[in-house]
Amino acid sequence: MSERVIPLVDQRVASLPAHVPAKPIPTTGLLGDALGRPLRDLRISVTDRCNFRCSYCMPKDVFDKDYPYLPHSALLTFEEITRLARLFAAHGVRKLRLTGGEPLLRKNIEILIEQLAGLRTVDGLPLDLTLTTNGSLLTRKARALKAAGLHRVTVSLDGLDDAVFRRMNDVDFPVADVLEGIEAAREAGLGPIKVNMVVKRGTNEHEIVRMARHFKGSGIVLRFIEYMDVGATNGWRMDEVMPSAEVVAMIHRELPLVQLDPAAPGETAERWGYADGTGEIGVISSVTQAFCRDCNRARLSTEGKLYLCLFASQGHDLRTLLRSGATDQDIASAIGAIWQGREDRYSELRASLPPDDGQGVRRVEMSYIGG
């Protein structure tokens, strides 16, 4: 077996300025990018830290005890995040998803959730406020998150076999504690709950049907995600990708499925229902079936850089604008200009693109901007 070489490149220093255009861009809720895609979904990373060391996201040989995490002063404050989220909502965002790292590691995150819960869409409706977590702290925090205004959670869980799960999270964390956290979230009313399983061939594909059986009839939607080439530290190889079509076929042989219509425009998951009506699964095929055409998501890093694609190499620096005394109109116009110039469609072009941008700047890591 050849030795894995991991390029140590810090994407946090690679950024583009966020320019305020000469002509203000109005906040009509109708902002479109260069390919006509609206802005509807904002993923907000609130921390670059995580208590797991999953090999596909934060491998221990890179994110070790000496890894230089961002200092607290570099992170956006809760007030800065809320201000930006309000301006994104004015441009048409309807859904906010808090991510990390592990977002529940951010101290007093309930305060941020309470602030975000007070925001409204251009139609005057509450934003859909969600959070993705590894579930390790849910038992302790579920009720407080609900009380603060969080609507629902998505929990990452890559298998039910305890040995497999402990090996994949690489910190010896037991699967039973994650399942307890999911139950705590359900009891707190943080639903409908989704569970995400990253499928890595040769590692956990034997857990697919077992996971499907476990969550079938529970009211929890289980989603299978193809192992993605995000960043440069996870040693991604195409032969470790299990196409979603194989996942669906594997489950269908044991638990018959019927295809369902998309839940909403731009939805990343293809939906399949159990033929007996006892629930559904989803598959996210970002490697084998590009969904760039309808992508309506932007991503905000923990220190205020706006990324237009999960596979981007550089973000646009909004923090400098925030801390320079810029007005809301200035910042909203800068966001509008960035989105209007967006033409990202990495998944459609994957095979023809180099691993970096030609200047040695590699794609941003999932642990930095969330999935």
- Mean pLDDT for 314-335 is 97
Query: Using one digit for the tens of pLDDT, what is the confidence trace for 75-108?
Result: 999 999 999 999 999 999 999 999 999 999 999 9
Q: Does position 371 have pLDDT exceeding 70, yes or no?
A: no
Q: Does position 198 have pLDDT exceeding 80, yes or no?
A: yes
Q: How far apart are CA 140 and CA 143, in angstroms?
A: 8
Task: Tell me which residue has tokens 């497999």.
Answer: 164
Task: Look at residue 237 in the predicted model and tell me its pLDDT.
Answer: 74
Task: Look at residue 289 in the predicted model and tell me its pLDDT.
Answer: 75
More confident residue, 286 or 161: 161
**Average pLDDT of the residues of the chain:** 89
What's the pLDDT band for 4 if we cut at 50, 70, 90?
Answer: very low
Strands 257-259 and 270-274: antiparallel
What's the pLDDT band for 270 if we cut at 50, 70, 90?
Answer: very high
Residue 279, number of CB atoms within 10 A of its CB: 17
The pTM score is 0.90
Task: Look at residue 9 in the predicted model and tell me its pLDDT.
Answer: 43
Asked if residue 315 has a cis previous peptide bond (ω within 30° of 0), the answer is: no
The closest of 229, 267, 266, 288 to 35, measured between CA atoms, is 266
What's the pLDDT band for 268 if we cut at 50, 70, 90?
Answer: confident
Spell out the domain ranges in the chain. Answer: 42-369
What's the pLDDT band for 189 if we cut at 50, 70, 90?
Answer: very high
Q: How far apart are CA 128 and CA 209, in angstroms?
A: 31
Q: 127: alpha, beta or left, given left = phi > 0 and alpha = psi -120 to 50?
A: beta
- Mean pLDDT for 262-271 is 80
Query: Using one digit for the tens of pLDDT, what is the confidence trace for 203-224?
Result: 899 999 999 999 999 999 999 9
More confident residue, 293 or 44: 44
- Please tell me the CATH code under which domain 42-369 is placed: 3.20.20.70
Task: Look at residue 178 in the predicted model and tell me its pLDDT.
Answer: 98
Query: CA 33, 37, 40, 44 torsion: positive or negative?
Result: negative
- Burial level of 267, CB count in 10 A (0-12/13-18/19+)? middle
